[in-house]
């Protein structure tokens, strides 16, 4: 392939070469991880490293009457045993609010509870020892006495407010919001068909292979704090450590090593992690905390737990007129800092009904405090709820109208030529492709044949169901997400590219890698933009003292925002390289190009100068260059999406299931997902993101739930009792893509990391209900356990 043969980037009218973009390149770090050469925080060895473990409240809500550390302090290996007051001397409290979520309130939270514990699992004391085992032994020697307080566990009780968790706040309502667009009442009044259903979504959590981990190393001589942290947002954490531990920002360095999964779990401020950093300062030595599995269940953020009532109005002809929504969600005793726990409910309000062209929309949201573990943003934040309830009620309407669910969707999805388009909930869409995606999906799954097979099998007593779920997804958020609300979270990301003397390319990015392959796609973009081969590129991420400043990895933003910064830096570097080449070769820059690690003649493709030779001259023999010429082989560029609040993506999923009516078991037979993430940078990674996301979505639909007792005890804080989805039960997942690149960037990439999780629960729910339909049963409480399905069938039997 010569330079002229190279394709343009799939964005419109760009001059960049396609190169590796769109290719299924294997990622460089996969081999290292497979060979066991990953470097996770627990692999680090430091002199004088101490380990901290936490005594956690056994009560959901209790006054801490007494903490006696005398025995624990004298146990072997113990360095310190501290309570909340001692740690508060080193770390100021925080309040998880954002000003653009009007009225959102929360109470001050400390690294370790002072006087009162508000959930089972909240840390009430910390033990630092030479080894983790010694610290655990000593922890058992702490004498802790509590006076239990009334625990608010049920979200309706929380709303009613008989017991107020934080009396200073007046009630248990963290946040509420009401929107009313168009003429909802009138739409319902004139509708031919009104359907209404309530859905409940179980509380679950994102189970990371690697538990939360932090190693804080305070250097008193320099007054510097180096934090090795399994976080998705190193610069955000740098700011937070600086602010709450009172160390100048420049003296705080946050380093992310390999991270074993994050899914949003590792983008929040956790009290035990803040405590670890504070202890490092207090004790003037490195201190490490790694959450064990039980602690992870008790203290990693949980998510979901919504109870929603939704209504839909439609005409006989199958036109959706309006959605009306009432969502109640419980978030635990604190809104999590700094992103707040109001976002998930807010997203449900923003996204419900999103794929459709109705003009009337009303929604009511209440976010309440309870005495359970906190909830916050976890992969696909709010989307699984909004998609499932939208698609559930859409299916119910289609059923009532006697219309095929695919056809009903076709009539109501926003047309592909309607963009830019503003949805009924006020969301602005630049360019979506609902109809292309629907068509592609139906073809991919052979929808007609499946429906025919389903009908045949029903005659034989085999109950198969087909479920569809269309979706929109928030990606590449602008500062409208957090920055405008006062959070010091960057919506911008940066990339620095440096051509090394040997012609190698070093890429430094502010986006982090936690197993999803970000570094791999950045290498592809950089190699493409500069004109080198992949093997020449080395990507460095996750170090606040070396990378550009940026937001990190969350909200499906890494590729779209960080990738664009890499592309722009690459183009600038390429131009600088050509300046040097023109100087060395004494030709016009416009006649040259960079391709395959060489300077070539752009017209003929003939090789002129290897980059290694250019590097040698630029770095070691600049004396041979023209007198006034200074080469610049290191370039930094930044990118912030600003035209739209979010770069929305869209897609549609389908699930095929078989129900066993005598056992209530659901067998997942197959799953399909067609989505549009704009430019596909690496189809293999995109498909794996989709598949992994679908599996997480299926987890929420069928398996995962944090079970709490009436007094607020988490009953299944182990991998034996908390059911994560496993490969044995997962269906084949077929992926398809439509590419509508965003014009807001040259790369054209939208996000994809959360799409699978967003749509899968709704698709599975609809498939189950489709299978149950001939038995006159329906389910609407996730997860759909066999017992819940049996109950629905039992209820149906009783009725019929």
Partner 1 sequence: MKSPAFAYAKPRTLDEACGLLEAHGEESRIIAGGQSLVAMLNLRLAAPGLLVDINAIEGLGGISVQGDRLVIGALVRHREIEQSGMVAENCPLLAQAAPHIAHVAIRNSGTIGGSIALADPAAEWPACCLALDATFRLVSKKGERRVAARDFFKGLFATALRPAELVAAIEIPLLPNHRSVFLELARRRGDYAIVGLAALARPEGGRLHDVRLAYLGGGDAPILARHAMQAAEGKPPAADLSAELARDLSPLADLENRAATKLHLANVLARRALAALAA
Q: Name which of residues 757 to 786 contact partner 1 (CB under 8 A).
A: 785-786
Span from 153-161, 275-283, 620-628, 725-733 in contact with partner 1 (CB under 8 A): 725-733
Per-residue binder mask for partner 1 (CB under 8 A), 655-684, x = binder: -------xx-x-------------------
Nearest Cα neighbor of 333 from 712, 722, 705 is 712
Nearest Cα neighbor of 306 from 240, 354, 363 is 363
For partner 1, the closer of residues 147 and 292 by Cβ is 292
How far apart CA 233 and CA 511 sit, in angstroms, is: 8
Q: Name which of residues 463 to 482 contact partner 1 (CB under 8 A).
A: none
For partner 1, the closer of residues 640 and 785 by Cβ is 785
| Shortest separation between residue 729's beta carbon and partner 1, angstroms | 6
| Shortest separation between residue 704's beta carbon and partner 1, angstroms | 11
For partner 1, the closer of residues 515 and 661 by Cβ is 661
For partner 1, the closer of residues 144 and 442 by Cβ is 144
Q: Name which of residues 727 to 746 contact partner 1 (CB under 8 A).
A: 728-729
**Six-digit token string for 208:** 């990371």
How far apart CA 594 and CA 611 sit, in angstroms, is: 8
| Shortest separation between residue 727's beta carbon and partner 1, angstroms | 9
For partner 1, the closer of residues 20 and 703 by Cβ is 703
Span from 228-236, 298-306, 632-640, 724-732 in contact with partner 1 (CB under 8 A): 724-732
For partner 1, the closer of residues 133 and 160 by Cβ is 133
Q: Which of 14, 200, 636, 716 binds partner 1 (CB under 8 A)?
A: 716
* 15 burial level (CB within 10 Å; 0-12, 13-18, 19+): exposed
How many helices (DSSP H) and strands (DSSP E) are in the chain? 20, 29
| Shortest separation between residue 77's beta carbon and partner 1, angstroms | 12
For partner 1, the closer of residues 237 and 657 by Cβ is 657
| Shortest separation between residue 695's beta carbon and partner 1, angstroms | 13
How far apart CA 612 and CA 577 sit, in angstroms, is: 11
Nearest Cα neighbor of 753 from 522, 523, 473 is 473
For partner 1, the closer of residues 642 and 707 by Cβ is 707
In DSSP terms, 23 is beta-bridged to none
Question: How many residues touch partner 1 (CB under 8 A)?
Answer: 26
In DSSP terms, 496 is beta-bridged to 508, 636
| Shortest separation between residue 294's beta carbon and partner 1, angstroms | 7
Per the CB < 8 A criterion, the answer to whether 478 and 646 are in contact is yes
In DSSP terms, 252 is beta-bridged to 225
Span from 362-370, 628-636, 641-649, 713-721 in contact with partner 1 (CB under 8 A): 713-721
Span from 193-201, 230-238, 379-387, 710-718 in contact with partner 1 (CB under 8 A): 710-718
| Shortest separation between residue 699's beta carbon and partner 1, angstroms | 11
Q: Which of 7, 24, 443, 715 binds partner 1 (CB under 8 A)?
A: 715
**Measured at the alpha carbon of residue 307, what is the angle toward residues 368 and 196, in degrees to the nearest 5?**
140
For partner 1, the closer of residues 76 and 486 by Cβ is 76
Pairing of strands 62-68, 116-117: antiparallel
Q: Which helix (H) or strand (E) holds 454?
A: helix 447-459
**Six-digit token string for 659:** 């129900």
Q: What are phi and psi of 647, to 5 degrees?
A: -90, 95
For partner 1, the closer of residues 86 and 294 by Cβ is 294
Nearest Cα neighbor of 348 from 387, 312, 319, 315 is 387
Within 191-334, where are the H helices?
234-245, 271-283, 293-299
| Shortest separation between residue 728's beta carbon and partner 1, angstroms | 4
Q: Which of 49, 141, 450, 790 binds partner 1 (CB under 8 A)?
A: 790
Cα distances (Å, whole numbers) of residue 619 to 289, 467, 505, 622: 44, 61, 14, 6
Q: Name which of residues 257 to 296 contact partner 1 (CB under 8 A).
A: 292, 294
| Shortest separation between residue 499's beta carbon and partner 1, angstroms | 47
* 655 burial level (CB within 10 Å; 0-12, 13-18, 19+): buried
For partner 1, the closer of residues 201 and 337 by Cβ is 201
Per-residue binder mask for partner 1 (CB under 8 A), 623-662, x = binder: ---------------------------------------x
What is the separation, in whole angstroms, between the first and last Cα of the chain?
69
**251 lies in the binding site for partner 1 (CB under 8 A):** no
For partner 1, the closer of residues 127 and 654 by Cβ is 127
Give the CA-trace dihedral at 538, 542, 547, 548, to 10 degrees. 120
For partner 1, the closer of residues 586 and 727 by Cβ is 727
| Shortest separation between residue 796's beta carbon and partner 1, angstroms | 15
Span from 151-159, 244-252, 324-332, 716-724 in contact with partner 1 (CB under 8 A): 716-724
For partner 1, the closer of residues 140 and 407 by Cβ is 140
Burial 184-210 (b: 16+ CB within 10 A, else e): beebbeebebbbebebebbbbbbbbeb
DSSP 156-215: HHHHHTSS-SSGGGSSSEEEEEEEEES-HHHHHHH-SEEEEEEEEEEEEE---SSPPEEE
How far apart CA 593 and CA 550 sit, in angstroms, is: 31
For partner 1, the closer of residues 161 and 786 by Cβ is 786
How far apart CA 389 and CA 236 sit, in angstroms, is: 33
| Shortest separation between residue 664's beta carbon and partner 1, angstroms | 8
Per-residue binder mask for partner 1 (CB under 8 A), 127-166, x = binder: -----xx--xx--x--------------------------
Cα distances (Å, whole numbers) of residue 315 to 174, 319, 321, 398, 412: 37, 5, 7, 11, 11
| Shortest separation between residue 787's beta carbon and partner 1, angstroms | 5
For partner 1, the closer of residues 643 and 721 by Cβ is 721
| Shortest separation between residue 648's beta carbon and partner 1, angstroms | 35
| Shortest separation between residue 738's beta carbon and partner 1, angstroms | 34
**Six-digit token string for 43:** 């692999």
Nearest Cα neighbor of 406 from 488, 466, 490 is 466
Cis peptide bond prior to 487, omega within 30° of 0 = no
For partner 1, the closer of residues 135 and 281 by Cβ is 135
Span from 246-254, 593-601, 673-681, 715-723 in contact with partner 1 (CB under 8 A): 715-723
For partner 1, the closer of residues 627 and 798 by Cβ is 798
**795 lies in the binding site for partner 1 (CB under 8 A):** no
Q: Which of 145, 721, 776, 797 binds partner 1 (CB under 8 A)?
A: 721
Span from 174-182, 332-340, 548-556, 717-725 in contact with partner 1 (CB under 8 A): 717-725
Per-residue binder mask for partner 1 (CB under 8 A), 685-704, x = binder: ------------------x-
How far apart CA 346 and CA 481 sit, in angstroms, is: 11
Token pair 């944090």 in the structure block, residue: 706
Nearest Cα neighbor of 203 from 781, 726, 762, 689 is 781
Residues of this chain that bind partner 1 (CB under 8 A): 132-133, 136-137, 140, 292, 294, 662-663, 665, 703, 707, 715-716, 718, 720-721, 723, 725-726, 728-729, 785-787, 790
């Amino acid at each position: 392939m010569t330079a002229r043969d190279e394709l343009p980037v799939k964005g419109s009218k760009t001059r960049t070469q396609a190169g590796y973009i769109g290719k299924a390149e294997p990622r460089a770090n996969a081999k290292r991880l497979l060979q066991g050469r990953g470097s996770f925080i627990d692999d680090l060895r430091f002199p004088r490293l101490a380990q901290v473990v936490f005594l956690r409240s056994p009560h959901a809500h209790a006054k801490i009457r007494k903490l006696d550390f005398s025995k624990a302090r004298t146990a072997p290996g113990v360095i310190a045993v501290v309570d909340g007051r001692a740690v508060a001397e080193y770390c100021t409290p925080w309040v998880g609010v954002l000003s653009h979520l009007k009225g959102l309130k929360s109470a001050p939270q400390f690294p370790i509870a002072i006087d009162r514990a508000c959930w089972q699992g909240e840390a009430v004391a910390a033990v630092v020892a030479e080894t983790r085992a010694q610290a655990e032994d000593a922890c058992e020697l702490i004498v802790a006495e509590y006076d239990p307080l009334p625990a608010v566990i049920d979200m309706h009780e929380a709303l009613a407010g008989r017991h107020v968790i934080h009396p200073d706040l007046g009630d248990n309502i963290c946040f509420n919001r009401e929107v009313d667009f168009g003429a909802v009442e009138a739409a319902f009044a004139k509708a031919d068909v009104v359907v209404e259903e309530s859905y409940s979504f179980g509380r679950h959590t994102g189970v990371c292979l690697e538990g939360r981990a932090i190693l804080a190393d305070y250097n008193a001589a320099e007054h510097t704090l180096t934090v090795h942290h399994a976080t998705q947002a190193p610069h955000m954490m740098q700011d937070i450590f600086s602010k709450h531990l009172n160390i100048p920002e420049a003296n705080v360095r946050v380093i992310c090593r390999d991270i074993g999964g994050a899914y949003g779990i590792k983008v929040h401020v956790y009290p035990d992690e803040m405590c670890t950093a504070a202890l490092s300062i207090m004790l003037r030595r490195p201190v490490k905390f790694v959450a064990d599995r039980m602690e992870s269940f008790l203290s990693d953020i949980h998510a979901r737990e919504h109870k929603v009532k939704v209504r839909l109005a439609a005409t006989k002809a199958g036109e959706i007129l309006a959605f009306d929504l009432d969502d109640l969600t419980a978030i635990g005793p604190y809104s999590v800092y700094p992103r707040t726990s109001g976002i998930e409910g807010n997203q449900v309000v923003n996204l419900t009904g999103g794929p459709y062209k109705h003009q009337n929309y009303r929604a009511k949201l209440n976010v309440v405090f309870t005495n359970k573990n906190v909830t916050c943003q976890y992969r696909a934040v709010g989307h699984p709820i909004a998609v499932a309830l939208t698609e559930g009620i859409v299916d119910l309407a289609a059923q009532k109208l006697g219309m095929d669910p695919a056809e009903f969707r076709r009539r109501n999805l926003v047309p592909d030529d309607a963009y830019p388009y503003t949805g009924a909930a006020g969301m602005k869409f630049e360019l979506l492709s609902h109809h292309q995606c629907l068509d592609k999906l139906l073809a991919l799954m052979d929808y007609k044949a499946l429906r025919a097979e389903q009908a045949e099998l029903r005659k034989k007593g085999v109950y198969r169901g087909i479920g569809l779920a269309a979706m929109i997804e928030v990606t590449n958020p602008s500062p409208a997400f957090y920055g405008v609300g006062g959070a010091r979270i960057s919506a911008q990301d940066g990339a620095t590219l440096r051509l090394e003397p040997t012609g190698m390319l070093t890429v430094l990015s502010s986006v982090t890698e936690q197993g999803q392959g970000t570094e791999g796609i950045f290498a592809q973009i950089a190699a493409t933009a500069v004109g080198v081969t992949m093997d020449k590129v080395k990507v460095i991420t996750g170090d606040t003292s070396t990378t550009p400043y940026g937001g990190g990895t969350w909200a499906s933003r890494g590729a779209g925002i960080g990738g664009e910064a890499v592309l722009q830096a690459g183009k600038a570097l390429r131009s600088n390289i050509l300046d040097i080449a023109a100087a060395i070769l004494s030709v016009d820059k416009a006649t040259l190009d960079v391709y395959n690690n060489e300077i070539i003649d752009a017209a003929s493709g003939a090789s002129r100068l290897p980059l290694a030779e250019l590097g040698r001259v630029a770095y070691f023999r600049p004396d041979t260059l023209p007198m006034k010429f200074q080469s610049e082989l290191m370039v930094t560029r930044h990118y912030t999406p600003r035209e739209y609040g979010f770069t929305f993506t869209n897609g549609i999923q389908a699930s095929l299931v078989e129900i066993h009516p005598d056992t209530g078991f659901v067998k997942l037979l197959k799953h399909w997902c067609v989505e549009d993430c704009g430019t596909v940078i690496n189809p293999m990674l995109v498909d794996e993101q989709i598949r992994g996301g679908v599996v997480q979505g299926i987890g929420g639909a069928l398996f995962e739930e944090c079970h709490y007792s009436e007094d607020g005890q988490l009953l299944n804080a182990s991998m034996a009792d908390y059911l994560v989805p496993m490969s044995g039960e997962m269906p084949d997942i077929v992926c398809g893509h439509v590419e509508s690149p965003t014009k807001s960037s040259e790369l054209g990439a939208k996000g994809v990391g959360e799409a699978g999780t967003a749509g899968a629960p709704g698709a599975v729910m609809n498939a189950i209900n489709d299978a149950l339909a001939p038995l006159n049963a329906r389910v609407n409480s996730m997860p759909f356990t066999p017992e819940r399905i049996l109950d629905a069938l039992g209820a149906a039997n009783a009725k019929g």
